[in-house]
Amino acid sequence: MTLSLLKSLADSTRLRLVAILFRGEFTVQELTEILDMGQSRVSRHLKLLLDEKILSVRRQGTWSYYRACKENPLFVEIWPVLDATLAMEAFPREDLGAMAAIYEKRRRKSQDFFNHHASEWDGLSHRLLPTTPYAEQLFDRILPCQNLVEVGVGTGNLLPSLVFLAQTVVGVDQSPAMLAQARQRISLDGPCHIELRLGEMSHLPVLSASADLVLVNMVLHHAANPGKAFKEFARILKDEGKVVIADLLPHQYEWARESLADLWLGFERGDLESWLDEAGLFLADYRTIHGTADRQGVFILEAIKRCTEQITK
């Protein structure tokens, strides 16, 4: 086992692949862009790394996302040393730039879509992929607080209710057109403690440790990098602050990628728990609301930010 593992890592391309996939999840097509190599060559290296349980793959419809795997204990033990050595070489820095370009491509596709469809988004989303009713269970988890941040505020359909649950409400969205729709929803003589800001899930325009509650409603499946988004949620939360996330259970509606700009076809609980743990959040509650023949199932989770003192001990 040891010899086989070491042989699998004794190749510069495979080392680059592992370094990349320890920092994100990518399809074969995206990896060929990052590495600037042919697909057959990249696929051959991926298969070898999968066989050694150095990588794993997550199926999303007909797409496959590759990522680092932690099932091989020897690899988990030696990888930090290898990664630190690679960081001193020139090519990992080039790969980081190429990875950033892929994330930007994902983000730009989503932003362009919402800028174009903002005025019709509410009707479009409910018509094409209706979800099983979950609003009551979502609001049961949003307790009154001082500072609430809604990530992916969209057209602002939750704002009229949120203003009664927090002293200040900040709504963030990456699409200027969607924010314009949200502003129209807020009456000029209505509550004055709502602030709308342009920003992304991976770079929230919110001060660190300033939010009591972060709400993420039906937007995570548009995240270019969900793991990084979770770390941003944690960054802006106060110690013991809460994040509430509602999103889609796994599904196979491939058309949602083009018709609704979805980057992810729902989420498995295991992936969510992994992202929470890496961000310094612990799962407090997880509920599923199963779908029907004509409505997509939904999950709702609550997670709490660990105290800084607990993390540093």
3-state secondary structure of 11: coil
Torsion of CA 21, 101, 237, 313, to 10 degrees: 40
Q: In b/e form, how buried is each residue of 57-92, taking b as 16+ CB within 10 angstroms? A: ebebbeeebbbbbeebeebeeebeeeeeebeeeeeb
Summarised one tens digit per residue, pLDDT across range 153-190 is: 999 999 989 999 999 999 999 999 999 999 988 864 45
pLDDT band at 10 (very low <50, low <70, confident <90, very high): confident
Q: Cα dihedral sign for 177, 178, 182, 184?
A: positive
d(CA 249, CA 228): 20
CB 139 within 8 A of CB 161: yes
CATH class of 121-312: alpha beta
Summarised one tens digit per residue, pLDDT across range 209-239 is: 999 999 999 999 999 999 999 999 999 999 9
pLDDT band at 312 (very low <50, low <70, confident <90, very high): very low
Q: What is the DSSP letter of 249?
A: P
pTM of the model: 0.87
One-letter amino acid at 73 equals P
3-state secondary structure of 149: strand
pLDDT band at 191 (very low <50, low <70, confident <90, very high): low
CATH code of 2-89, in short, is: 1.10.10.10
For the chain, the domains span 2-89, 121-312
The pLDDT of residue 249 is above 70: yes
User: Which tokens hold the place of 93?
Assistant: 């820095």
Over its C-alpha atoms, the chain yields an Rg (Å, rounded) of 21
